[in-house]
Structure 1
Amino acid sequence: MCESEEFLELVAYVRASNRRMDIIKFLSYDLKTPKEIGNELNIRTNHISNLLADLRKRDLVVCVTPNVHKGRLYKLTDNGNKVLNYL
């Protein structure tokens, strides 16, 4: 399977951090809140928010409830699912 250089850079970006990899893998199961992700992965919620923001900027995750202030739900994008296959 021949992937673009841009896509392979996304895979490398995720693989460079165990926390980013863990978030991608954890989101593969269902919609999750930052608190649920933090509790499962033993990472503080404010750090999870920063990680999710970075993953969102790279179109790997999306917030499906952007108008909710507390308890926002996140899921993988199509790109996120493709990257997951390489982890």
Structure 2
Amino acid sequence: MCNDEKFLEQVAYVLASDHRKNIILFMGDELYSPKQIGDAINVRTNHISNLLAQLRKYNLVYNTTPRIRKGRLYSLTEDGKRVLEYIKQKE
């Protein structure tokens, strides 16, 4: 697992930001709205939306409700779950 260059880049990207790391740790295997995530980690919703967009570019989260504008739900991708497990092992 640690020899996978893409995986290592994803881990490094998440660990470079406490907010990104906290989002990954909070989400686990559940579905959450940006507001729920923001409330849980004490970050404004508009900033959470930007962070989620960044995490989507790295294939770490995905929008499970892409057709709706308000009330979107996000979940970790398989890559996101791998990163989560790695982070949990190291803490």
Give the TM-score normalised by structure 2: 0.90
Quote the sequence identity (%). 57
Q: Which residue of 1 aligns with 2:55?
A: 55
For 2:56, the aligned partner's letter is R
SS at match of 1:86: helix
What is the TM-score with the length of structure 1 in the denominator? Answer: 0.94
Specify the code of the residue in structure 1 equivalent to 2:55.
L
Cα-to-partner distance string for 1:15-35 (whole Å, 9 max, x where unaligned): 111110110011104100000
Task: Report the AA paired with residue 18 of structure 2.
Answer: N
Structure holding more helix per residue? 2
Residue-pair matches, total: 87
Q: Is the 8 A contact 2:2 2:8 kept in 1?
A: no
The answer to whether the aligner puts 1:4 opposite 2:4 as a matched pair is: yes
Residue 67 of structure 1, CA deviation: 0.8
The 5 A counterparts of 1:6-85 are 6-85=6-85
Amino acid at match of 1:13: Y
SS at match of 1:67: coil
Q: Which runs of 5+ in 2 are unaligned?
A: none
Q: Which amino acid aligns with 1:74?
A: Y
One-letter amino acid of the counterpart of residue 83, structure 2: V
Any stretches of 5+ residues in structure 1 without a counterpart? none
